[in-house]
Amino acid sequence: MSLYVYAITKASHPLDLDDLKGVGEPPAELHVVRSGDLRAVVSETPEDLSMGRRDLEAHHEAQEQLWADGTTLPLGFGFVTPDEDSVRAVLEERAEAFSQRLDELTGRVEFNVKGIQDEDALLRTVLEESEQVRALNEAIRDGGGTYEDRLALGQLVAQEVQSRQAALAEEVLTALRPLVLSEKLAEPSQQYFVNASFLVEDEGSEDFTEAGRELAERFGDGVELRLRGPLPPYSFV
């Protein structure tokens, strides 16, 4: 039976697994694979493992409870190995790197920040503030204007939207960077103008959270700033 791996810890971690349940239905029992000073928390891999809500929630709940008791290297969802010998082989091969990273992450947590801008509100702002957009829009209103006018309007609006969202993202990053140790940025998307994970000293969590709240209040209506954390440092393993 293959094994699903949740996290790597040092032997000093209490590893209280009595109340933890793993992925699958019924939930798999967690146990420990040992190698030197390292431990891997694993369970049997269910045959119906999927990216569905049930298994994703079980994975993250196990990770967060393990982290609450001590430093871990939380693995991403779906890390599966053939057997315990395979787990031990990885722990032995990368023992020095794993131990060093566990030391580096001790006393540190992750925050994720996502920024969402209301599309209708953004387009209204572009129309109100850009004379060129407004002129082109009036030219093609009620079917007027040329094909080139419509093409130019679409391109100009896209440029204005991208420029405004890039400025918002930079404002978020500029405000939060002095409070963090490290960051991982995802590419901006149609959904999020900023999507960033930050590594923060545990003692600085309250300051980071407050800074996020102040940013959200400053942006006001039309912009939503979602802050999650403190979390196990998934992005920095």
Instruction: Annotate the chain with three-state secondary structure.
Output: CCEEEEEEEECCCCCCCCCCECCCCCCCECEEEEECCEEEEEEECCCCCCCCHHHHHHHHHHHHHHHHHCCCEECCCCCEECCHHHHHHHHHHCHHHHHHHHHHHCCEEEEEEEEEECHHHHHHHHHHHCHHHHHHHHHHHHHCCCHHHHHHHHHHHHHHHHHHHHHHHHHHHHHHHHHCCEEEECCCCCCCCEEEEEEEEHHHHHHHHHHHHHHHHHHCCCEEEEEEEEECCHHHC
pLDDT of residue 136: 61
Q: What is the pLDDT of residue 50?
A: 84
pLDDT at 160 (0 to 100)? 72
Question: Whole-prediction pTM value?
Answer: 0.81
pLDDT value of position 187 = 86
- Taking the C-alpha atoms of residue 66 and residue 42, their distance in angstroms, rounded to an integer, is 12
Predicted confidence at residue 222, as pLDDT, reads 84
Residue ranges in the chain whose pLDDT is less than 70:
122-123, 126-150, 152-154, 156-157
pLDDT score of 67: 94
pLDDT at 110: 96
- Which domains does the chain carry? 3-106 (no CATH), 109-236 (3.30.70)
Q: What is the pLDDT of residue 188?
A: 79
